[in-house]
Chains A and B, each alone.
Chain A
Amino acid sequence: MELTQQDTNSKENRPEDPELDLYTIPSHSSWFSWDEIHETEEVALKEFFDGSSITRTPKIYKEYRDFIINKYREEPSRRLTFTEVRKSLVGDVCLLQKVFRFLENWGLINFAASSSEGEIPVVGDDERSKVKIEEGVPNGIRVVAMPNSIKPISALPSVGNSGDAADNGFKMPALASYSDVFAELMKHRGLVCGNCGEVCDSGHYKCTKDDLLICVKCFKNGNYGESKSVDDYKFNECFQNSGNHGALWTEAETLLLLESVLKHGDDWELVAQNVHTKTKMDCIAKLIEMPFGEIMLGSVQRKGNSSDLNGNLNNSKQVHLPSAEHQENAKSGVQHDEQTNENELNGDTENEGPPLKRKRIASLLGDDGSLMKQVAHISTMVGPHITAAAAEATIASLCEENSLSREIFDGEDECVTNGLLSPTADYEAKRVLEGEDSEIKERSSQSEDQDASCNKDDIPLTLRIRAAVATALGTAAARAKLLADQEDREVEHLLAIIIGTQMKKLNCKIKHFEHLEMIMKKKHAEMEELEEFLISERISVLQRALSAGVPRWRGHSFVKY
């Protein structure tokens, strides 16, 4: 049995009636009812109602409509296509198409279906692929190769936009990738020696005890830092990745690259030919950097390196930690992993060699779907203490990187402690965002005085994005936790109800049996009375017979006389 619950466009599920299924349809379709045909339908599909043919009657229309809607509701998350239903319905396909379109336009079907499914970019269809990319940056071309992807959480643009009420000009290029946002700071700095503060170009020495890096020069000079000796340092060869891969990639080039890859797949010669200005290596490198580069290259690394990925997603995860700190069990047992991977994370990973970099960059905003899943999964495993400990450690390391970010965190911390009092995640998110906004303003004025080596406009932008991303993740996690709790409570509640009803059932049965017993007893009593009565009657009859002088019967012969 099902009931349509006509909600507004909110996606909340109000679990009031656990026995009925809820389906969301837009409020402008609230006229819909299973048992009747509304005027809207009659007007839009008048062919069925003008009696022009026996192939088009209201009854037939109702059958079509009910079938299509039921078919959709068997699996509301997938987009029902016309071709799927038309094979099961008898009738002119053009007319069926019309009915299908009507239902779809009114949101009675395909309302909750994910729209990115099935829209595999068509090669050469520039308009479409462009629109897709702008729509949801990381999810731009999310091919259905990830079958378990939950509904895309468009963390980046929406959060960025909402967090920017005060600020305008929050514009990222359409193909903003992880490296644009998160790796820029890295690019500027390279590895910096812990001692002398210079950039370590060639190798660097890493202390095995601490996480201190010193450059080759310092090592030679014997400046090992306090209380350390030669033995403590390990040499790390610096694999300088050709940082820029030859100039910047413009939007047009990236677009061209994507199209060519889609068309030619692995054939890098052709791809390089198409993208005239970049060599084969550049193309490959660029692709790898892109959020979905690994999907396109068919890499299988991601799943296996889940913990690494989570750990490697240093900045974005760490940023949201303060906001999540006070939430027990909130997502990130990821922090747990981060803690263990701490040592690898400090400073740049750029110099750890191409494979690592690849993994790291692959763990981006574009992977929000699987990341959240992992987050949710791990949150069930890890307790709050680990979260708190990891949070502190990671914040410390993060702050080393950039003084501005420390200010953000401090600012957020304050807001967060304020937010401790407010229960809901939404509210907290708003607060954090507000706090963030004010921070942004402060920061933007501060950044004016910054180093000229840093791109002035970019730092606030990227940090903003990072903070925004972090809060988004945080709120999502918090909400997930709340929902999980709610689920638990519901389950208990339901169990209690079930037990209650069982008890009642038993009670009823017992009463019934008692009732029966009582009836039996009464009957028994009546029977006994009857018996006695009969006996007494017999006695009285015999007595009268005797007193009347009738001799006792002796048998037939006697009567004959």
Chain B
Amino acid sequence: MVMKGQASNSWKSTAVKFRMPTAENLVPIRLDIEVDDQKFKDAFTWNPSDPDSEIVVFAKRTVKDLKLPPVFVTHIASSIQSQLADFRSFEGQDMYAGEKIVPIKLDLRVNHTLIKDQFLWDLNNFESDPEEFARNFCRDLAIDDPEVGPAIAFAIREQLYEIAIQSVASARESRISKKGRRGAEYALASKAGSGAVDIVKLFGHKSSVLRKRKEWDVYEPIVDLLSNEEVDALEAREERIAR
């Protein structure tokens, strides 16, 4: 196999303790609470090393700032807590951190801005920074709405989180299975997670890292500014789907 030739640190036992594969270990938290026909949706990142007492404080402040009925405090706090607990449940375990470049897709709407994009992300790069990516994105495309950047960063984090969780699961499986290490790791690399790209195909000696022109628009960001009517229409549709 071609891989054997490389100085393959990644192919040795690369069980790493579970964490977000980004420079800052922030957890994406999503809130979607409905109480008495009043909805509250939010998405943000939380630092899991913050003391838990902060959760209630945060919930109270949110309710106060947004003038929500006080019953939301408990809902918000408990939602955050359970998501954090999920995150922490993974923390003790190993996750597979081999060579994995995954496609990240963006398909989100923030106020009046619609964003569609696709790009590759190296899961193994523990210095990656979704927030910086989001900043560059907004700057290069001159996006005015300041809420777009954080939304992008959040979307990226969420997807990374998903993939990280899956790699924990697959790492667990590999321990259970009795196959030889090397073989299992390679098999994992190609199978585990949602379609990591075929590294050999893309980066091997025979190929070029310059993407073919016809694929450029697949990987090009599309930013649309919607009018008020379009926004309303989209929101209505989303609600219908949610129900």
Contacts and interface: CB of A to CB of B under 8 A. Distances in A.
Interface of A: 50-55, 57, 59-60, 63-64, 67, 81-84, 86-95, 97, 118, 120, 122-123
B127 A94 contact: yes
A86 B203 contact: no
A55 B208 contact: no
Contacts of A81: 139-141
21 contacts: A50-B7, A53-B6, A54-B6, A55-B199, A81-B140, A86-B119, A87-B119, A87-B217, A88-B213, A88-B219, A89-B209, A89-B211, A90-B202, A90-B209, A90-B210, A91-B122, A92-B121, A93-B121, A94-B132, A97-B133, A122-B144
Given A51-B6, A83-B141, A60 B209 contact: yes
Contacts of B124: 53
A313 B13 CA distance: 76
Contact of B140 (A59, A82, A88, A91): A82
B176 interface: no
B200 interface: yes
Contacts of B216: 87-88
A83 B10 CA distance: 29
Given A63-B209, A81-B139, A91-B122, 20 more contacts: A50-B7, A54-B3, A54-B99, A54-B200, A55-B99, A59-B205, A63-B210, A64-B209, A82-B136, A83-B140, A84-B140, A87-B217, A87-B219, A88-B216, A89-B209, A90-B211, A92-B120, A93-B121, A94-B129, A95-B122
Interface in B192-207: 199-200, 202-205
Contacts, number: 99
Contacts of B129: 94
A290 B19 CA distance: 55
Given A52-B7, A120-B142, A60 B203 contact: yes
A89 B199 CA distance: 14
Interface string B88-115: 0000000000010100000000000000
Interface string B140-182: 1110100000000000000000000000000000000000000
Contacts of A95: 122, 125
A152 to B, nearest CB: 19
Nearest to B208: A63
Contacts of B38: none
A543 B119 CA distance: 99
Nearest to B122: A92
Contacts of B199: 54-55
Most buried by B among A50, A53, A81, A122: A53
Interface of B: 2-3, 6-7, 9-10, 99, 101, 119-122, 124-125, 127-129, 132-133, 136-137, 139-142, 144, 199-200, 202-205, 208-211, 213, 216-217, 219-221
Nearest to B213: A88
- Give the interface SS of chain B, mostly helix, strand, loop or mixed: loop
B224 to A, nearest CB: 15
B101 A91 contact: yes
B140 A90 contact: no
Contact of B101 (A59, A92, A122, A123): A92
Contacts of A54: 2-3, 6, 99, 199-200, 203-204
Contacts of B120: 90-93
A63 to B, nearest CB: 5
- Kindly name the residue among A59, A91, A93 whose own CB sees the greatest number of chain B CB atoms within 10 A: A93
A316 B141 CA distance: 39
A560 B159 CA distance: 110
Given A54-B2, A94-B122, A95-B122, A88 B133 contact: no
Contacts of B220: 87
Contacts of A120: 142
B149 to A, nearest CB: 12
A78 to B, nearest CB: 12
Contacts of B202: 55, 90
Contacts of A92: 101, 120-122, 125, 128
A97 B134 CA distance: 12
Residue of A54, A57, A95, A120 with most chain B CB atoms under a 10 A cut-off:
A54
B159 to A, nearest CB: 13
A58 to B, nearest CB: 12
A-B pairs, top 4 by smallest CB distance, nearest first, are: A92-B122, A81-B140, A51-B7, A83-B140
Contacts of A123: 144
B221 A83 contact: yes
A253 B68 CA distance: 37
A468 B231 CA distance: 54
Contacts of B101: 55, 91-92
Contacts of B136: 82-83, 97
A54 B9 CA distance: 11
Contacts of B122: 55, 91-92, 94-95
A172 to B, nearest CB: 30
Contacts of B119: 86-87, 93
Nearest to A50: B7
Contact of B10 (A52, A84, A86, A122): A52
Contacts of A84: 140
A91 B209 contact: yes
Contacts of B204: 54
A59 B129 CA distance: 25
Most buried by A among B2, B129, B137: B137
A88 B137 contact: no
Given A53-B99, A83-B136, A118 B142 contact: yes
Nearest to B223: A83
Contacts of B203: 54-55, 57, 60, 90-91
B101 to A, nearest CB: 6
Given A54-B203, A55-B101, A94 B209 contact: no
A91 B203 CA distance: 9
A54 B10 CA distance: 10
Contacts of A87: 119, 211, 216-217, 219-221
